[in-house]
Structure 1
Amino acid sequence: MRSRLYALAAGNFAIGTGMFVTAGLLASISADLGVSRSAAGQLMTVFALAYAVLSPVLAALTANMSRRTLLLLAMAVFTAGSALAALAPTYPLVLLTRVVAAAGAAMFTPTSSAVASALSSPERRGRALALVMGGLTVSSALGVPLGTWLGDAVSWRATLWAVAGLGVLGLIGVAALVPDVRIAASRRLSERLQPLRDRRVVAVLVTQLLVFATGFTAYTYIGSLLDLPLPAVLWAWGLGGVAGNMLGGRLTDAYGPRRMVFTGMTAVLVFMALIPVANLALPVALVWGFLWGASGWMVAPAQQFRTVAAVPGNVSIGLGLLASAQYLGLVVAGLAGGVALEAYGRIGVVVLAVAIGVVALVFTLATYRPALSPERESIPA
């Protein structure tokens, strides 16, 4: 069983590395393609936008397909998109290849969670999901720093070839280890969007969008905000993300999702304001990066908890919408952060990240009440 889950996690590791690594490659991408760093940052924006838009559409179109076949197709598409990006000679063509890679990711990641859930017993389902999705968080701790280092040492194209290689390994793992699974799913897009009629669900999704917009406004352009060795800072952030994701689940079970959502959001807001302090020295930046990553990813399990509570009859669809909101947050971060960087430099990006964080906190305070959550919210302080 664990070998099957590791194969799915390996696919998510490749996808996470391929998406997030561009944040550490902006300087080499901009120099090679003759565009500004803010324009280079839109490679992540385009990937996130394509993922958010294509995820529900492709899920409906492939509803009757065997999940194993879909996983193989998804990883093949992602790998092809990454390889084409490494070959693309111009900026517009690189953007187009990011859409191709995102289409593969949009099919693979939600399907890997559904397959992990189907293959595991109810009492081990949470751990199975954590293992499979852990590929994404581990990619931020391992794949992204190594990819950034490779990009600095060789070229950003070498990094994307390495991502394509990871995709091939994920494809082989799925082909060798994951069995054929069929999961009942609706082919009607309207049914997949039905939870959006519930204001509780919309509130959760908007919070998710704003939380990720806050953190990734800085993360997308981190190379322009710090004058320190970037791979080391990204490594610290990634390690913090892994720790925060693991700890966040336990703390959510212990103290309830509401407390964890507000604790994590407040901490992220503080760390955004401390970016100039982090830039003073590498040891300071490493501690800052770890705590920022931990506090940001600590919110994720609590938000998943909120989603499951809001749509108990459509959990997979609800979590799919949560992922789309997350990636839309990255779109906002990439676009708004790029404008701020061009107009006001690094201080503009910092101010923008803090401003979005304030909006996120105020919105969530206004919309997230204990009465809207299940019994864990009633745990006394």
Structure 2
Amino acid sequence: MDRRLLMLALGMFAMGTDSFVVAGILPSVAASLNTSVSLAGQMVTVYALTVAVLAPVMAAVGGGWPRKPLLVAALGIFVLGNAINALASDLNTVLVGRAVAGLGAAMFSPTALGIAAALVAPERRGRALATVTAGLAGATALGAPLGTFIGGFGSWRTTLWFVAALGLVTMIGVGVLLRSVPQPPRVTLRERFAPVRDIRIALTLLTTLFAFGGFLMVYNYSSLVFDRVTGGDERTLAALFLFWGVAATLGNLLAGRLVDRFESRTIIVAALAIAIGNFCLLPWTSAHPVTAVLALLVWGCCGWGLIVPQQHRLVKTAPQVAPLLMALNNTALYAGIACSSVLGGVVIVVIDQHYLSLVGAALIAVAFVLAEAAYAFIVLRARQAAPAALAQGS
């Protein structure tokens, strides 16, 4: 395996860990800063929203900058943001630190994916992109549980120093291993969002937004949803996260194999339908250790198993702008995280925290409808194109 790709994957691992590990330390942050868990949950919102909004902006603005210095600068900003978080004494400073870290992630992620595609031959680009993206999925399997576990022994500040250390190691590795990288053609912000005008692509991206809004709303406040099993112990919560993360990684790998054998629609529909049922039962399954673990396994497998067929659908729809669509899908995912954190923070004030998953199920149901609408337009466009292709061929 190319060590340069592995180093880029480690960077994505750090970015993903920073996004997902906060869910496990929210009660500690809230207690330490004398605020509510709902307000502390905006740590997730600020980071995710910064990444979602600024990733395409920074990709366009920094399109003409040298690749290696841009990556090193991005990682330096990411480390700085987490250092601010770890040293903060009030929630406002924490949120500023989260925005700074999000800016670093917004600069790093699209650049890393572009470099991954440039480092290999065209026939290997898919595998290169998958390798780098695997760092994000791996953050759920290892980074978030490990960070939560570390926080259980130390404090939430220790967890954020751990994330900063991951960013620092990646920054050093990129500086040493990554040499000359071909400069990509500059893409303006308007050109970057041009594919969204295609209804098929817009609906597919909205599917990602609503699906992960539902999936990660519960994850962001999992310390409250699963409190009957964990008893408030962060180490027990970390163990539950480990089951979820392993299932997420396996679901991602399994989806990669299934999408080569079956239509993307089959996998998308199955994953969303099963997830809706699982979340509807979660208010009761989350009360007992065995059923909670089973629910987490199903949740992880369906949730992260959705990414591959979604990416496959996007690439098949517009293969000529595939890397751009990957970046937009990533933006939709982070936008879902940001929105879910805000909505979840409001919901747990209004209803019992153990019923939060029902709202998540409703969002996933919307994603199901959007996914089917996208498929209907894909079929319609194919039927319209067929007569034109036949006429041109004759």
Counterpart of 2:304 in structure 1 is 297
Counterpart of 1:99 in structure 2 is 99
Q: Following TM superposition, by how much is the alpha carbon of 1:268 offset from its aligned partner in structure 2, in angstroms?
A: 1.6
Q: How does 1:13-32 map to 2 (within 5 A)?
A: 13-32=13-32
Structure 2 unaligned segments of length 5 or more: list them.
Answer: 231-235, 384-394
Within 1, Cα distance between the matches of 2:379 and 2:297? Answer: 33
Q: Following TM superposition, by how much is the alpha carbon of 1:257 offset from its aligned partner in structure 2, in angstroms?
A: 1.0
Within 2, Cα distance between the matches of 1:304 and 1:176? Answer: 32
1:317 to 311, 315, 324: 324
Q: Following TM superposition, by how much is the alpha carbon of 1:211 offset from its aligned partner in structure 2, in angstroms?
A: 0.6
Within 1, Cα distance between the matches of 2:301 and 2:179? Answer: 34
1:331 to 338, 358, 364: 338
- Aligned residue for 2:306, secondary structure, equals helix
Structure 1 residue 358 corresponds to structure 2 residue 365: yes
Counterpart of 1:166 in structure 2 is 166
Within 1, Cα distance between the matches of 2:154 and 2:144? Answer: 15
2:275 to 268, 277, 281: 268
Within 2, Cα distance between the matches of 1:86 and 1:373? Answer: 51
Counterpart of 1:282 in structure 2 is 289
Within 1, Cα distance between the matches of 2:269 and 2:381? Answer: 14
Counterpart of 2:391 in structure 1 is none
Within 2, Cα distance between the matches of 1:366 and 1:2? Answer: 40
Counterpart of 2:219 in structure 1 is 219
Counterpart of 2:144 in structure 1 is 144
Within 2, Cα distance between the matches of 1:88 and 1:311? Answer: 45
Counterpart of 2:388 in structure 1 is none
Contact 1:66 1:180 in 2 (8 A): no
Give me the identity figure in percent: 39
Within 2, Cα distance between the matches of 1:231 and 1:374? Answer: 47
Counterpart of 2:379 in structure 1 is 371
> TM-score, normalised to structure 1's length?
0.94
CA, structure 1 residues 94+373, in 2 after alignment: closer, same or farther (shift >3 Å)? farther
Counterpart of 2:257 in structure 1 is 250
Counterpart of 2:349 in structure 1 is 342
Task: Report the AA paired with residue 155 of structure 2.
Answer: S
CA, structure 1 residues 146+373, in 2 after alignment: closer, same or farther (shift >3 Å)? farther
Counterpart of 2:387 in structure 1 is none
Task: Report the AA paired with residue 308 of structure 2.
Answer: P
Within 1, Cα distance between the matches of 2:328 and 2:141? Answer: 25
Larger Rg: 2
Structure 1 unaligned segments of length 5 or more: list them.
Answer: 376-381
Counterpart of 1:9 in structure 2 is 9
> TM-score, normalised to structure 2's length?
0.91
CA, structure 1 residues 211+5, in 2 after alignment: closer, same or farther (shift >3 Å)? same
Task: Report the AA paired with residue 250 of structure 2.
Answer: A
Work out the number of aligned pairs and report it. 375
